[in-house]
Amino acid sequence: MNTEPTGFLYPFIESEERDASSLVADLAGSARAKMADSVALRTATLESCGGLVQRAAAEMADRFGAGGRLFAFGNGGSSTDADGTVELFRCPPSGRPLPAMSLVDDRAVLTALANDIGFDVVFARQIIAYAQAGDVAIGFSTSGDSVNVIRAFEEASRRGLLTIGLCGYEGGAMADSDAIEYCLVVRSDSVHRIQEAQDALVLQLWSAVQDHVPEGSQS
């Protein structure tokens, strides 16, 4: 299904158009409407997920305080959400830098696993290799159905990691997974709006972790 149709806004497409001014005005109007949608969804999501975020952050802070590390993963645009999460925790705009690793960072490991075994295991195998019981796993999937993300959570859960999932729509398979302790669902069917709200959720989570993390326990 086309979740973000644009054609209806511009039903009379003329191949011989020459004056761009009315199109530019329409584009700006469309952008303004989408901005308002994005802000409304972000505000509603921070509200609805606020309690879960606070509880997850408190547990994360305990684990960071005890020497735990954060592993983040996702596919495509969600891989950049994982990267962005790692950037935020490791090089924060303020507060304490915290140990975080992106499981999409190392292309040698990713392509080796994908080529030799299959893409379904690219994150789970890295969890097996790197993670320990006191660590934290954060995975992103807008559909909630990414097999490699879910398999990484299953592996992480078995190993005693704290597991936090971010997904969209109705949460997909992630919402039903016992392997994910904190599942933060952005209730939208637009991949773009979901990703924008996930950014806001991660910022809220990071901010709450900073509030909780003990002084001087990590550097």
Partner 1 sequence: MIATVDAQLGGQETAPAEDLAGAALSLARRFAAGATMWCVAPEWPAHGRHVAVEFVHPVIVGKRALPAVNVEGADVVRALRLLARPGDVLLAISSAADLVSADLMSRADAWGLTSLWLGAGPRPSPGRADHVVWVEGVEPARAARTGDMVLLYHLLWELTHVVFEHPGLLRAEPACTEEVCITCSDEGRVAEVQAVHDILGAEVLVGGRTETVDVSLVDPPEPGDLVLVHAGVALSTLRGGLP
Residues contributing to the site for partner 1 (CB under 8 A):
2-4, 6-7, 9-10, 13-18, 20, 23-32, 34-36, 38-39, 42-43, 46, 76-77, 79-81, 83-84, 87-88, 93, 191-192, 195-200, 202-204, 206-207
Burial class (CB in 10 A: 0-12, 13-18, 19+), 129: exposed
Minimum CB separation of residue 97 from partner 1 in Å reads 13
CB of 80 to partner 1, least distance (A): 4
Least distance between partner 1 and beta carbon 181 (Å): 23
Q: Rounded to the nearest 10 degrees, what angle do helices 77-90 and 191-212 cross at?
A: 20
Contact 167, 185 (CB under 8 A): yes
The candidate with the shortest Cα–Cα distance to 74, out of 158, 145, 133, is 145
Bridge partner residues of 100 (DSSP): 70
Q: Which is nearer to partner 1, 24 or 66 (by Cβ)?
A: 24
Residue 100: φ, ψ to 5°:
-145, 145
CB of 193 to partner 1, least distance (A): 8
Q: Which is nearer to partner 1, 25 or 66 (CB)?
A: 25
Question: Would you say 177 or 204 has its CB closer to partner 1?
Answer: 204
Residue 187, Ramachandran bin (φ over 0: left; ψ between -120 and 50: alpha; else beta) = beta
Smaller CB distance to partner 1: residue 81 or 181? 81
Please identify, using beta-carbon distances, which residue of 35 and 117 lies nearer to partner 1: 35
